[in-house]
Structure 1
Amino acid sequence: MAGESKNLTLVVPVFNEAKRWNQGYWSQVLAITNINWIFVNDGSSDTTTELLAKLKAASHVTVLEHEVNRGKAEAIRSGFNFFFKNSDLHTGKSFIGYLDADEAFDPKEIARFLNLSVNDSNHLVSQGFQAIWSSRVQLRGRRIERKKYRHYLGRIIISFLGSASPSIPYDSQSGFKIFASDENLQQVFMDNFKTKWFIDLEIAARYQQISGEQLRIWEEPLLFWRDVGGSAIKIGSLPTIFIEIVRIYFLLRKSTKSASHK
């Protein structure tokens, strides 16, 4: 179990990652200083459990086990609640976030975001921002390897949801986000999430309902990102995604209206 107090804790939801697990990648990631790690093994049926067991020896790594698969959203919620309940992981101003386990994010980017949120003397939270969300924007000089159909599908969905909440970030689905820990954020993670595919937007909607104010998000364009094989949307998931789009639409609209009346 992680027992050191550090400024940033990152939760990594893991499910059946053994085939694409790259120990060299994770060795680089875990070598980044000033980060505690919480890996949540979400009911994996392959050898992921054995791979994660090898990480436990490090003092800054915790591994949580779900006996059955609960989905990414609930795996993230388990990790966040473990963080909130263990004061040895945070003292004073602390930060918590989550990172996809698919190795799409370059270790250098993780270190850069750590500097943006914690280490830099002009870090973004001191400027009034409560969260830093990575954004996969195809800007010149960046290397963003993303399937076009996923990009266009994402833009269509965000355009639709934007009619419920105009402040929606450009890229809400990018799997690396950091939040400043506070009481409102703790309340966000108290209850089960209502969506599996749109946890990011549900977090923002819940935060707005609880606090009466929008979650102030800084979107930081990534320098490097790559689409990882095996993470494609399956056809069988499309009906669920459609239902969740409608569900998150009304959650966003409700949170926007409730905040405007506070």
Structure 2
Amino acid sequence: MNSFPPSDDEASSTALREVVLRLADELRSHDVEGIPSERVELLERIIGRDACRRLGIYALPPDFVLSVVVPVYNEAKTLEKVIARLRETYLPMEIICVDDGSKDGTREVLERLAAEQEITAVFHDHNQGKGAALRTGFLEASGDIVVVQDADMEYDPQDLRLLIQPILDDGADVVYGSRFSGPDRAVSPLWHLAANKVITNLFNLFHGYRFTDVETCYKLFRRELIQGIAPRLRERRFGIELEMTAKLLKDRNTRFHERPIRYARRSYAEGKKIGWRDGIWALWCIVRY
């Protein structure tokens, strides 16, 4: 009987199985603080993030809490959905929603959600801007790591487990989720991509860093860092993204890290709020801070 050498597919499957088994053995040898982030990334590439989540490889320290700050303005249609998606991560978290003077029924939705589940709800009497809402939320936080989560469904909370890992590994103090650094880059209109690239490159030029997406919503901080600068943040609108990054960079000991994330852009018809005027103001913020 003829014997045939294994096909390329069979050989690849065997090699893949061996790699996964070795990584699984290594996983079992680690304690609750989790495995090194480079091993996590390798497993993600091999078997995917969903499988990694099911295997429980994203181990967390005892008593860990993630503070999720959700700035909200006229998001009655999406707020409940984004809260549900946050819960689906099964991360130990406190959710802090700051309603910035909404006029579309968001306040009533938030009041109901806060009565039904553990949510910290804070209400501004009038609209002050995203920057003001973030300042309020940062100062309310009590968890180990603080993250910003927009309520518009553009950012996927399932990425949060990956994003917290560099901080838990003590390899970073601040982690930014980049929409433009991974293989699945964000799909946006050309002008939007160009504006982001110009703003990020100019920021890098002025501040001597190499961000790929300084305007991302997904910014994670050690709580003591962001609460240390929160009282000094002045920007009321979207300029706060650049201001807080610049102020954190002034401390040369602060370690930054970027990781790719998924992004599902919504249109202006669907409620997107940032516009060209914010882009012009961003250029001023780069120079100012």
Common fold: TM-score over 0.5: yes
Tell me by how many angstroms 1:139 deviates. 3.8
Instruction: State yes or no: 1:170 paired with 2:221.
Output: no
CA distance in 1, matches of 2:181, 2:188: 9
Paired AA for residue 196 in structure 1: R
Tell me by how many angstroms 1:146 deviates. 2.3
Paired AA for residue 138 in structure 2: F
* Residue number in structure 1 paired with 2:68: 10
Q: Please report the TM-score for the alignment, with normalisation by the length of structure 2.
A: 0.69
* Residue number in structure 1 paired with 2:287: 249
**Aligned 8 A contact 2:74 2:103 in 1:** yes
Tell me by how many angstroms 1:78 deviates. 0.2
Compared CA separation, residues 24 and 233, structure 1 to 2 (3 A): closer
**Aligned 8 A contact 1:10 1:37 in 2:** yes
CA distance in 2, matches of 1:65, 1:198: 21
More RCO (CA 8 Å, sep 6+): 1
- Where do 5+ consecutive residues of structure 1 fail to align? 84-88, 117-122, 252-262
2:93 aligned to 35, 38, 43, which one?
A: 35
1:48 aligned to 93, 106, 125, which one?
A: 106
Tell me by how many angstroms 1:21 deviates. 1.6
SS in 1 for 2:232: coil
Tell me by how many angstroms 1:15 deviates. 0.2
* Residue number in structure 2 paired with 1:103: 153
Tell me by how many angstroms 1:25 deviates. 4.5
Alignment of structure 1 residues 113-128 onto 2, 5 Å: 113-114=163-164, 116=165, 123-128=166-171
SS in 2 for 1:151: helix
Compared CA separation, residues 232 and 65, structure 1 to 2 (3 A): closer
- Identity across aligned pairs (percent)? 23
Instruction: State yes or no: 1:147 paired with 2:147.
Output: no
> Which string of whole-angstrom CA distances, capped at 9 and with x for unpartnered residues, describes residues 12-68 of structure 1?
0000112x4264443232243301100000000110011111221355311100000
When Rg is computed on C-alpha atoms for both structures, the one with the higher figure is: 2
Q: Please report the TM-score for the alignment, with normalisation by the length of structure 1.
A: 0.76
Instruction: State yes or no: 1:161 paired with 2:218.
Output: no
Alignment of structure 1 residues 43-82 onto 2, 5 Å: 43-57=101-115, 60-82=118-140
Compared CA separation, residues 73 and 168, structure 1 to 2 (3 A): farther
SS in 1 for 2:138: helix
Compared CA separation, residues 101 and 41, structure 1 to 2 (3 A): same
Structure with the higher fraction of residues in helix conformation: 2
* Residue number in structure 1 paired with 2:31: none
CA distance in 1, matches of 2:74, 2:236: 21
* Residue number in structure 1 paired with 2:226: 185
CA distance in 1, matches of 2:150, 2:194: 21
Instruction: State yes or no: 1:202 paired with 2:243.
Output: yes
* Residue number in structure 2 paired with 1:137: 180
CA distance in 1, matches of 2:139, 2:109: 23
Paired AA for residue 219 in structure 1: E
Structure with the higher fraction of residues in strand conformation: 1
CA distance in 2, matches of 1:109, 1:41: 24
* Residue number in structure 1 paired with 2:15: none
CA distance in 1, matches of 2:248, 2:274: 28
Compared CA separation, residues 215 and 27, structure 1 to 2 (3 A): same
CA distance in 1, matches of 2:145, 2:124: 24
SS in 1 for 2:74: coil
CA distance in 2, matches of 1:133, 1:58: 32
- Where do 5+ consecutive residues of structure 2 fail to align? 1-62
CA distance in 1, matches of 2:263, 2:173: 24
Tell me by how many angstroms 1:199 deviates. 1.5
Compared CA separation, residues 110 and 207, structure 1 to 2 (3 A): closer
Once superposed, what is the RMSD of the aligned Cα atoms? 2.4
**Aligned 8 A contact 1:193 1:199 in 2:** yes
Compared CA separation, residues 166 and 107, structure 1 to 2 (3 A): same
